[in-house]
Structure 1
Amino acid sequence: MIKVAMTGVYVDDVAQAHAFYTDVLGFETRTHLDLGGGTLFITVGAPGGAQPDLQLLLEPGDGPVAEPYRRALYEAGIPCIVFSVDDIRAEYERLRGLGVRFTHEPQEQGPVIAAVLDDTVGNLVQLAQPKE
Structure 2
Amino acid sequence: MKIHLTSVFVENQDEALRFYTDVLGFVKKHDVPMGTDRWLTVVSPEDPEGTELLLEPSGHPAVRPYRTALVRDGIPAASFAVDDVPAEFRRLRGLGVRFTQEPVAAGPVTTAVLDDTCGNLIQLVHGG
Q: Which residue number in structure 2 is paired with residue 44 of structure 1?
A: 42
One-letter amino acid matched to 2:126: Q
- What's the counterpart of residue 22 of structure 2? 23
Map 1:1-132 → 2, pairs under 5 A: 2-36=1-35, 38-48=36-46, 50=47, 52-130=49-127
Question: Does the Cα contact within 8 Å between 2:10 and 2:56 map onto a contact in 1?
Answer: yes
C-alpha distance in 1 between matches for 2:104 and 2:60 = 34
Provide TM-score, normalisation by structure 1: 0.91
Structure 1 outlier segments of 4+, above 4 Å:
none
Letter of the structure 1 residue corresponding to residue 116 of structure 2 = D
Gaps of 5+ in 1: none
**Alpha-carbon deviation of 1:125?**
0.3
Kept after mapping to 2: 8 A contact 1:61/1:70? no
Stretches of structure 2 lacking an aligned partner (at least 5 in a row) = none
Aligned-pair CA distance for 1:121: 0.5
Alpha-carbon deviation of 1:110?
4.2
Looking at structure 1, the residues matched to 86 and 44 of structure 2 have their Cα atoms a distance apart, in angstroms, of 19
Amino acid at match of 1:79: P
Report the TM-score when normalising by structure 2: 0.94
